[in-house]
Structure 1
C-alpha cells in the first residue's frame, strides 16, 4: 500500500479543514449519549488543527434517515456535547450544502469550528453522487477523513469528496491509530502469545480473519453461534442451535481444522435452553451432545475457565463478538467473563484491542471499557480491514 498522508503532513494555518467524522453515537430515548468513544477519539485531530491556527468544518452521518429530514435524526444535539469536550463554542448549521453554509464557513476564524447537519438527510450521500460531493468540497481547503467506522462504505463524503482535493487530503489521528493497531494484529507483530477471541452469530463474516490470523496466532478461541457449524463439521450434535449454512466456508473450515486443530479452541460445555428467551429452562451439556429441541445460548463454566486461562497468559488479545446471547441476563455470564478476563490481562501488561458493538456493550456492562488498550470505532470496517480487503475510504486518500 502507498504511504497514507496524515494530518501531520500538513500545516493548517489559515486553512479550513473539512473533516469527515463518524459521530453516529448511541443515544438513549432522551438523546443522551451512552458511549462517546468516537467523539473522544476525534478530539486529538481537532486539537492539532487548532494548534496550527486552522478552521474546522465537521461533517458526519447519524442513524439511517434515508434521505428524509427527521427531527429525531438531527445531529444538532452534538454541538453542545462537543462544546463541553473542546471547551469552546461549536457552531451548528442546519444544512450541508448551499449558500447558507458557504457563508457560515467563510465567516469562520482560526480556532473556530462548525458542525453541519446529518449528511444522510441527503439521499445523494449514500448514492455516491458526484454533484453532492462537489458542493461539499467548496467547504474546505484540506480534506481529512477521521471516520474509520464508515471507510468501508461507498458514500459520497467517503469516496468521491476526496477526489476534489487532489493532493490536499489525509487521514486524522483516529484513523491512523486504527490502521496502526489493526496492522499489529494482521501481521502478527504483537507481543506473544497472541490470542484471538471470536464470537457472534455468523462465521461467514470472520472466516477470512481466521485464515489470516491462524498463521501467527497462538490461540484462536471461538464461541457463540460461530462455534456450532464447527462442532457439526467435527461430528458433534448441536440440537436446535443456530447454524449458518454455507458450503464454501465449510470446505475452508475443514482444511483449517485439519491443519491447525491445536490452535483453535472451542467451548467444551455450553448452557442450553429449550426456547430462545431469558426465562427458558436450561441445563449444561457438552457442546458435542446438545439434544434435539435444545439450543446453545452461552458457553458453560468449564469453557469459561479454559478461555480465561488462555487469555490470562496472553501478551496480545483481539476480541470481536459475544460468546453467548448476552442480551439475556441468564446467558450473559460467558461474555461478561471474557470482558473481565481481557481487562485483567490488560492491567497486567497485555495489549488488548476490542471491536464490534456487542463486544463494546459487554465491556460497558462491567465498566471495563477504560481498562482496554484500544477500542476500535469500527465494526464492519474493522472486519473488512482484517479480511485483507481494501477499504474504499482509504483508497480514496492514497489515489
Structure 2
C-alpha cells in the first residue's frame, strides 16, 4: 500500500489542514492523567504549522453516541495542548457549521484550533456523507494521524478522506512503516508471541498469523487451552475446554503451513492469586489438583523462547506470557521482554509490539523504549494483525 505523507507537501500558506487525531485521553477529576496521545500528535501539528497551515484538529472523546454530552466535551484538552505546543490553541464549540468556521477565521496561519467532539453528531459513527461533507468544508486538505481510530469507517476517519486530498500524519506513517516491517515485508525468520487469557478473543489473529510466521509462541491463559487439547493436565487453571477442537485445528494448520508452535514446557503453579503467593514449577504433563492453577510459563519455557528469538530477525508481540500484574507471575514475560530488547538494541532484531496488556507488560519490564516500535492503538493494531482491512488506512491509499 502506498499513501501520501507530509513529505509530499510544501507551502501551505493560506490553507487549512483538517487533522484527525486521537485525544481520547484518560481523565480523573477533570485532569488528564496521561498525555501520551497529545504528545504523539505534536510532530504532525508542528510540521503543518511550519508549512504555514492553519491546523484544525478533529477528535473524539468517550462515547456520547451522537448526542451533546457536556461532560464529554473536548474543551479541557485545549489548555493542555496549548502548554505542550507553546501556543494558544483555540477551541470551537462545534466541529462543523458556523461555530467551527468562525473560530477558524480568527486563527492565524500557523495557528491551531481544536474542534468539539465529532461524536456529538450521529453522522460521525454512521459515516454519513452529508456530515463528512460538512467537515470537509472546513479544510483544504485532510491528514489522518489517528491509527488507533483507523479500524472504524467513520466520517472523520474515512468519509472526509474521500473529499479532500488525504495524507498520513507523522504518527500514522511511523505506525504503518512499523507494521509493514513486522508482517508486510519482514526480515525472516519471523516469530510471534501471542498471549492473553482466552483463545476465543484471538481466533482470527491466530488463524492469520500461522500462515505468515515462521514460529508462534502462545502464552498466558490461552496456552492452557492448547495444552489441554493435547491431553495435558491443567488442573483448575483458566481453560476454554470447549475450544479443544478449534485449538487442534489451529495446530494442524500451523504444521501444514510450516509455522512452528511454541507452547510452555514448564509452568508456574499456585493455589491462590496474590502477590508473592506460594508457588511451584512443574513440567507440563505433571498431574495437577483442581486447586492448582497455572499463572505463568516456567523458566525452561522462557529459555526456549529466547533461543527462538535469537534465531529470528523479526518479532511481533501481542499479549503477556503470564499474569504479569502480580509477582512472581511476571517472571517469564519480564525475562523474555528484556532479552528481546537486548537483541533489538544490538540491531539483531526488529521488535514490534502492541495491545493494551502488551504495552503495560513491556512498561513493567522497563523495556518499552528499547523495542523497535510499540503501538498503543489497541483495537486497530489487533485488527491489522488479524489481516483485516482498516478503512481509515485504506482511505489514504494512492
With the length of structure 1 as denominator, give the TM-score of the two structures: 0.87
User: What's the counterpart of residue 14 of structure 1?
Assistant: 14
Q: 1:383 and 1:60 mapped to 2: Cα distance?
A: 21
Q: 1:293-304, aligned counterparts within 5 Å? A: 293-304=291-302
Structure 1 position 195 matched with structure 2 position 191: yes
- The answer to whether the 8 Å contact 1:205/1:383 transfers is no
User: What's the counterpart of residue 34 of structure 1?
Assistant: 34
User: What's the counterpart of residue 146 of structure 1?
Assistant: 145
Q: 1:112-127, aligned counterparts within 5 Å? A: 112-127=111-126
Aligned CA RMSD, in angstroms, stands at: 2.8
The residue matched to 2:161 in structure 1 has which SS? helix
- The answer to whether the 8 Å contact 2:225/2:243 transfers is no
User: What's the counterpart of residue 256 of structure 1?
Assistant: 253
- The answer to whether the 8 Å contact 1:17/1:143 transfers is yes
Structure 1 position 239 matched with structure 2 position 235: yes
> Any stretches of 5+ residues in structure 2 without a counterpart?
none
**1:21 CA displacement:** 0.9
User: What's the counterpart of residue 380 of structure 1?
Assistant: 379
The residue matched to 1:370 in structure 2 has which SS? coil
**1:20 CA displacement:** 0.7
User: What's the counterpart of residue 339 of structure 2?
Assistant: 341
Q: 1:336 and 1:62 mapped to 2: Cα distance?
A: 33
Deviations 1:168-209 (A, max 9, x none): 12222222222222122223522x443211111233454444
1:307 pairs with one of 295, 305, 308: 305
User: What's the counterpart of residue 75 of structure 1?
Assistant: 74
The residue matched to 2:144 in structure 1 has which SS? strand
Deviations 1:252-274 (A, max 9, x none): 31323543687211111222333
- The answer to whether the 8 Å contact 1:186/1:213 transfers is no
Deviates more, 1:360-369 or 1:17-26: 360-369
Q: 1:173 and 1:371 mapped to 2: Cα distance?
A: 20
The residue matched to 1:293 in structure 2 has which SS? coil
Q: From the superposition, tell whether residues 262 and 378 of structure 1 become closer, same or farther in structure 2 (CA, over 3 Å).
A: closer
**1:64 CA displacement:** 2.8
With the length of structure 2 as denominator, give the TM-score of the two structures: 0.87
**1:35 CA displacement:** 5.5
Q: 1:150-165, aligned counterparts within 5 Å? A: 150-165=149-164
**1:29 CA displacement:** 5.2
Q: 1:102 and 1:262 mapped to 2: Cα distance?
A: 55
Q: 2:134 and 2:336 mapped to 1: Cα distance?
A: 47
**1:44 CA displacement:** 2.5
Deviates more, 1:326-335 or 1:365-374: 326-335
The residue matched to 2:32 in structure 1 has which SS? coil
